[in-house]
Chain A
């Protein structure tokens, strides 16, 4: 009964209240937790693209040989790029579309450089699951909208490489590029 009078001692004996040991416990577990996370970070980060992969991030391409109605494939970050010289008819077709009706609304002008609307430069990677669409090579099927057709799961792109039909969610991606001269582009 005498012990009950000393409340601090009673709390320690009953296991109630905050003790020094609780503090040590929380501090130790927290330190171990932070340390654990610090160790996990490099283990996860090592899987991200390494410096040499990131270093392949720009490519120069000479496009002088590509006549209207023709296309060529270049390689950027080990993936194909479609470089297409649109004919006036193809440009007209692309501009005639009601942009609001598209799955990924963009005009041809937004997808090309000013004054170079005939140069349609996109990644040759289907935005569905990454196959290479047909239509850039000689004699390949261009699909019902005259642009590109992906044989894997049937996505159809128009002459501005915009998605028109099939499972792909977005238009073929336009990479960052600039014209360094009239016939040379620098991608990336």
Chain B
């Protein structure tokens, strides 16, 4: 599992020796995220987002568990208890703003983490399982974030619940019964709010479980690196503690500065004013939009305005396309056949990567705009390109591209090809 030169845990204190015999938990931690985990020495700042994402999950769980102590998951009190948290509970405003902006921060970090994976080919063998688990985490995050946004029971909460559960009614035949089953009624009401609260509390711990699997799967081949060249010898790696813990600590400081700017100085910048109006089942807000992190997928959903091939209803196509936009990631390890992992050595793939980034930004922008021209047309073109990228461009590029020469080893990539630079590595 780990490299032969990784340091072994050697407890010194008699208690720790005793502990190691009975329950080797400190040994597990040491080998997983301590001095016993060897990491490629050349990883850059893009490799900090995994640790940061874990940090965001901790922020969300801590603030969330506390908020649940003051919140009431019932339509009679949900909106008022949210305001009670904001006005009456000591530091309640800080906890709620920290939780709401924490969700946005979590998504920013995770999107960067995912696109790091796209660029550096982190999804390729032998790391497919890490990638697949990561996509599962992302899906769970989306479900959790959606249900969390329903809890304050404001106008956007209510209509978000109405629209998103409406997606399920697109399924032929059984769609409407499924929707009624999910909601426990014919429209979002107390039954729905109460179960969303229960699940919103549960899912973060499910995410935590999958995160542990994600890290476990990571530690079998070890971390990837910006060259995409596998670790060959001891000179290619450094122990996670203290080197990368220190580096992660520095970006956590940086992250907290930006996060605090939002929490304390513009806490509502990413929210919608309509959600400070109590839910009203008889009045739809003029412009329903989800939170910004769903915009690219929302734009894809809205892109289908005509029935597809005169058979599949536009509504069903929109829903299928939206889910496919994420499900296609599951197939990425097998769609990209290039043996070269890193975009740094793939001149053609690199260009298309940046087009994809631009495309997703355009989709996101259109998703946040009203469903009218020119946004619908632009979103339709961007949606087509999105699927073209994964289903056509990536497979073709990976077979026709001529990659640039790879360095012999990570050490060579860092120190140059002078063999004398790595005396222990002459064999």
Contact = CB atoms under 8 A, between A and B. Distances in A.
Contacts of B187: 77-79, 125, 130
Given A132-B283, A153-B371, A53 B315 contact: no
A146 interface: no
A78 B166 contact: no
Nearest to B372: A154
Interface in B285-328: 286-288, 302, 304-305, 307, 313-316, 318
Nearest to B182: A47
- Contact-residue bracket for chain B: 35 or more
B159 interface: yes
A131 B283 contact: no
A166 interface: yes
Given A47-B184, A49-B180, A53-B184, A152 B314 contact: no
B191 interface: yes
B288 A152 contact: yes
B371 A152 contact: yes
A50 B184 contact: yes
Most buried by B among A80, A129, A131: A129
B195 interface: yes
Nearest to A48: B181
Interface in A151-188: 151-154, 166-169
Contacts of A19: none
A49 B138 CA distance: 30
A47 B163 contact: no
B315 A167 contact: yes
Nearest to A44: B181
A103 B307 contact: yes
Contacts of A127: 315
B344 to A, nearest CB: 42
Given A48-B184, A128-B166, A131-B163, A169 B191 contact: no
Given A53-B185, A151-B288, A153-B302, 10 more contacts: A77-B187, A78-B186, A78-B187, A129-B162, A129-B166, A131-B288, A152-B371, A167-B302, A167-B315, A169-B315
Closest 6 pairs between A and B when the two form their complex, measured CB to CB = A129-B166, A130-B166, A169-B313, A132-B284, A129-B163, A130-B162
